[in-house]
Amino acid sequence: MRWFWIDRYEEFRRCRDATAIKAVTLAEEHLHDHFPGLPVMPNSLVLEGLAQTAGLLVIDAIDYARQVVLAKVTKSEFFFDAMPGDVLRYHVEILELNESGSMVKATSMVGDRLQAEAELVFGHLVESGLVPKLMSRKELMTWYDNLHVFEVAVDLDGSRVPYDRVPPEVN
């Protein structure tokens, strides 16, 4: 089972940056268990939402050639807790991108208030006997569909990114 910590993308500019949102609601079970009597979204899940927002941007930027995994959080700072009723706006920007890894600057906003900021490092791994396939093409396309990526995705020249952009499964 996979957990989504973002609701949808609002912007997705290939190889550059992306913006996604997450509505924090009382319907989420973790809000009742994390601090009983004080429903707050755990900061680790805010980081995961930032990482998911960035991870799909990064895997697209490297043309789906490798597995993308969060390798390190080099910096993170939280300025206030995310509470039910808040809408987190995650913005991620690729700072560095090469064959073996990438670095991303990430922020979380609630309205015009900075809720969190982080720098995330992703490893780009070649699938092998030691590195399993983490996500099939079908799963990846389901994520993109559910998160409305192709409704907002644009290429470097500003043109729309087509649904068939993801290469077929390699057997």
- Active-site residue numbers? 34
E strands along the chain, which residues?
8-13, 17-23, 67-78, 87-97, 101-110, 113-125, 153-154
In Å, what is the CA distance from 59 to each residue of 105, 109, 112, 122, 124? 16, 24, 29, 10, 9
List Cα–Cα distances, 17 to 26, 35, 36, 94, 144, in angstroms: 30, 33, 36, 6, 16
| Alpha helix positions (H), 62-166 | 137-146, 149-152
Query: Which residues, including other chains, have CB under 8 Å from residue 152's CB and lie 6 or more apart?
Result: 9, 10, 11, 12
